[in-house]
């Protein structure tokens, strides 16, 4: 951690000067700033690039212009808006937090880091961003982009997920955050990491703090921040049952609210081909014929999912189901429900 206050001040001043000249100031969440809009954007930007988030954010803010509207919306509808963005726990936490803010805080976001962190899905950095940008409090952030900038600038070795490394970076972040223009600095340091101090091929010659960047001096920017030790990801296997009735409709089943693809709609599953008949019978389905397709892979953060689509034609014509967690849908007109990207892709391949 730097010990020279003058150096720390110079760092923030250089970042702010760069931001004033070159920073992005017209991103959708930088307009009409409010705690709600900052919170929504910060959650959506977690582990997701700005270019990917922009169209999703615009759809979300149009559908749910304030926290009360979001709180009242059905989770199914929110998950539908989120389809394709991934990390669906973020959407579920958005809904939970919106309901808490609406019911317990009269629709007003808390203005302290401590209170904000008690809400689902809001960590220290997101809380700091809300307080700094929306409430102009002297609070710091440490998202992925900022970790990269500070780890390189100070040559902080080790994976930021480790407690000791995280503490070092938080200490530096707090020392660098200026008491004036905190909101601008917060957006500036995130922007610096997103546009110049990128994971690969950082634009060091354009960086406003390159003169004392320790990683650059050592010509070792690629070493910072340290990476998490790689583990061999386990592989899970499943059969996805694409059941089609006489009316060419497809059976979907809503997954449990937590866990893999929590709350989203998917095809019924079974472990292997030997279980096909009994699994279908639980849905009142009699198999006329079926065909196994090629196995595909979808990788999550902790495992690979190898899934084999099984195309099943049934002798059933029924399209009404008493169970609200099941429904028959048209492949191209499945309604506004949340669908994981692999399931949506398989639906799109089906002919009506």
pLDDT at 1: 46
Rounded Cα distance, 110 and 18, in Å: 31
pLDDT at 331: 87
pLDDT at 104: 96
Rounded Cα distance, 245 and 139, in Å: 57
Stretches in the chain below the pLDDT threshold 50: 1-6
Rounded Cα distance, 215 and 152, in Å: 5
Return the C-alpha torsion angle 217, 218, 224, 226, nearest 10: -150
Find out whether 341 and 235 touch, Cβ atoms under 8 Å: no
Evaluate whether 5-223 and 235-349 have a shared fold. Answer: no
Strand extents, DSSP E, the chain: 235-244, 250-254, 265-266, 269-270, 287-292, 296-299, 304-314, 326-329
Domain spans, the chain: 5-223, 235-349
- Architecture per CATH, 235-349: Alpha-Beta Complex (3.90)
Half-sphere exposure of 16 (CA within 13 A, CB side): 17
What residue has token string 């909101």?
A: 183
Find out whether 239 and 263 touch, Cβ atoms under 8 Å: no
From the list 42, 114, 273, 336, the catalytic residue is: 42
SS3 helix, strand, coil % of the chain, rounded to 5? 45, 15, 40
pLDDT at 2: 44
Residue 330 is a catalytic residue: no
CB count within 10 Å of CB 259 equals 9
In CATH terms, the superfamily for domain 5-223 is: Hypothetical protein; domain 2 (1.10.340.30)
Rounded Cα distance, 215 and 154, in Å: 7
pLDDT at 260: 87
Angle at 73 between CA 67 and CA 77, to 5 degrees: 125
Rounded Cα distance, 249 and 41, in Å: 37
pLDDT at 325: 87
């Amino acid at each position: 951690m730097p010990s020279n206050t003058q150096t720390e001040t110079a760092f923030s001043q250089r970042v702010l000067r760069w931001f004033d000249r070159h920073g992005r100031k017209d991103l959708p969440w930088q307009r009409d700033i409010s705690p709600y809009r900052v919170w929504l954007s910060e959650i959506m930007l977690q582990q997701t690039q700005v270019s990917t988030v922009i169209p999703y954010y615009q759809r979300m803010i149009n559908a749910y212009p304030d926290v009360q509207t979001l709180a009242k919306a059905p989770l199914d509808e929110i998950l539908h808006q989120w389809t394709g963005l991934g990390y669906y726990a973020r959407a579920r936490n958005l809904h939970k937090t919106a309901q808490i803010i609406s019911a317990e805080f009269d629709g007003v976001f808390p203005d302290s880091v401590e209170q904000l962190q008690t809400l689902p899905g809001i960590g220290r950095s997101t809380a700091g961003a809300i307080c700094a940008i929306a409430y102009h409090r002297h609070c710091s952030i440490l998202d992925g982009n900022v970790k990269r900038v500070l780890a390189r600038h100070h040559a902080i070795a080790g994976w930021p997920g480790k407690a000791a490394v995280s503490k070092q970076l938080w200490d530096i972040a707090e020392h660098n955050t200026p008491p004036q223009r905190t909101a601008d600095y917060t957006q500036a340091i995130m922007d610096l990491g997103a546009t110049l101090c990128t994971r690969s091929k950082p634009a060091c010659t354009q960086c406003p703090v390159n003169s004392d960047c320790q990683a650059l001096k050592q010509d070792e920017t690629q070493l910072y921040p340290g990476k998490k030790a790689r583990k061999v990801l386990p592989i899970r296997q499943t059969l996805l049952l694409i059941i089609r009735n006489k009316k060419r409709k497809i059976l979907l089943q809503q997954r449990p609210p937590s866990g893999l693809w929590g709350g989203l709609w998917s095809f019924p599953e079974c472990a292997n081909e030997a279980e096909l008949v009994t699994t279908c019978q639980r849905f009142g389905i009699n198999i006329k014929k079926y065909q196994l397709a090629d196995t595909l892979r979808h990788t999550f953060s902790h495992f690979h999912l190898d899934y084999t689509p099984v195309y099943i034609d049934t002798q059933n014509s029924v399209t009404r189901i008493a169970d609200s967690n099941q429904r028959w849908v048209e492949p191209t007109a499945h309604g506004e429900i949340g669908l994981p990207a692999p399931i949506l892709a398989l639906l799109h391949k089906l002919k009506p």
